[in-house]
Structure 1
Amino acid sequence: MKARSTSRALAAATAALLTLGGVAACSDHGGGGTDPDRVDVVVAFYPLQFLAEQIGGDAVRITNLARPGAEPHDLELQPRQVGQIVDAELIVYLAGFQPAVDEAVAQNGGDRAFDVATVQPLLDAGAGGHQHEGEAGHDGETGGRDPHVWLDPTRLATIGDRLAERLGTADPERAAEFTARAAALRTDLTKLDADYVQGLRTCQRREIVTSHTAFGYLAERYQLEQVGITGLSPDGEPSPQRLAEVAREARSHQATTIFFETLVSPKVAETVAREVGAKTAVLDPIEGAPADGDYRSAMRTNLQTLRTALGCS
């Protein structure tokens, strides 16, 4: 059904060349064996894994380069993982989000690489809220573009359609199966989108104060305003001036909740919350796999969190 021409010797040689600073990030998936009955797909982080699982089903073998529970922005690759990229029949990634993956794909991906950032134009980093010049993290990723495209379920559905096409090219005998699964996923995501539109239609507030400026797509889609404490990078350290500015904005909007996320420290959000007398709550950017459920359940949890914090009826 499928052919593979890359040898283990080539994988080892490429891995040696691309050992990026001797890093030691690890994956919970096995080594790069081959399966003649399934398409070998390497994905760069969780939302792309979700798409591949939903659309590929039993016809794909998926390797996620990002370790569960780790922040995927700063992923560094082991030689073994570079070998998995070399051996993959399809590599699904988002250019600009993970520099180590970009480098490995540039040298080894060829026509097997599928950059989901090419499906639709990415939003500017300041979309959905305030743009704060000079704050750490705004310009470091995707050339000033926001990579968190999966937080708009309608955009994720379109990426799923294109992924089905790429899988169909890799395994033509199952192309119709991939297309049907993508259509079913689009139905699910359209329902999720409708629930967001309805659930956030009438709210007392429309501003969300977040520790990490990751929610521009969600804010733009559902007519919210994002006030980010740090920029696109969750590791960015806000200046005292920025903390004071966010506190002023939170007070002016009568924010009752300061949001932090699952994979980074809540300390910055807690600092602002104490300053303005607000609560803190988790708003998940879904960069890593949810502890329970999948992308859809995490998005529905986010919706309920937003409805509570924003006083939606």
Structure 2
Amino acid sequence: MTTPAPSAESSPCQLDAPDRAWLDRSMSAWNYAANHISGIGHVKKIQAVIFDKDCVVTSSTAMNGGPNRWESNRHQGKVKLPDGTEIPSQVISFSGSVGDHSFFVMSTPSVWRAAGKTGKGTTLENLMTAVMLHEGTHVAQMPTYGEKIGEISERNKLPQDFNDDSIQKQFEKDKGFASSVEREAKLLFMASRAKTHGAAVRLVRSARAMMKARYARWFVGKDAYLAEAEPIWLTLEGSGQWLAYRWETDARGGRVASSAVMPGFEHDKWWSQREGLAAFLALERLTGATWKRQAFDTGRKDILQMLDEATATDRLK
């Protein structure tokens, strides 16, 4: 009896050598950053799904401290995810979950390069590894901040596409709202670079006063829930950006000068990523590394609560 030949969709395949080299390096970077920069450690039950224009490779061990071992199959322009959905084989990077299993999905540098993406102050491969670290971080935060966002969405009957950019999409054409966000982020970045602790405290307090005024003016009525949602989005996106930035500039990470990559982070077009990073850098300036367990593990406080605590009774030294 003749065994049928495997279909094109199920036949084994390989990523091109440059893409595979990037993937291997990124897995090493994830494990290094999780253990030595963020302190996340090993994330249980996480499946990695990586694809180029023809091939998808998956691993249930590479991102949780296990072997860097992959299974492969060809796809026909549609990549099937662990939750059963399908996505087109295009530039993408995100994390998700199904039951108690999490997954991370990303296309390879060859796909990004073909779409005209660049490294923004570093190589495209470095940038993409940093993006992987950002998104992978959210996997560890799903039981904490992710669950809180889910509760807000369910309580307010929000659409499934409610995400970290929803507030920006709703308010970006409002000049008053947009200018406040811009100024808040600038003040927080200034705080992160302040020469004295007291100066950093004053700048953070100024930024927080502007944020509170913005919330009081715009997050009212049917939009009142956004005052609860924005701090969580800032926490998720800001901590992810912080890890990406710290890995990029780490001597055992991307080994890129801060001056080369910070402009890309500081002028990110997405509000939650830009202001979130500024908030965490300001918090780091005020408290050192004491906040990391809160942001990457316990998740009981959001970034704004942590900033307020760090500046509440300070004597402006």
Comparing both structures, which one devotes a greater share of its residues to helix?
2
TM-score greater than 0.5 by the shorter chain = no
TM-score by length of 2: 0.27
TM-score by length of 1: 0.27
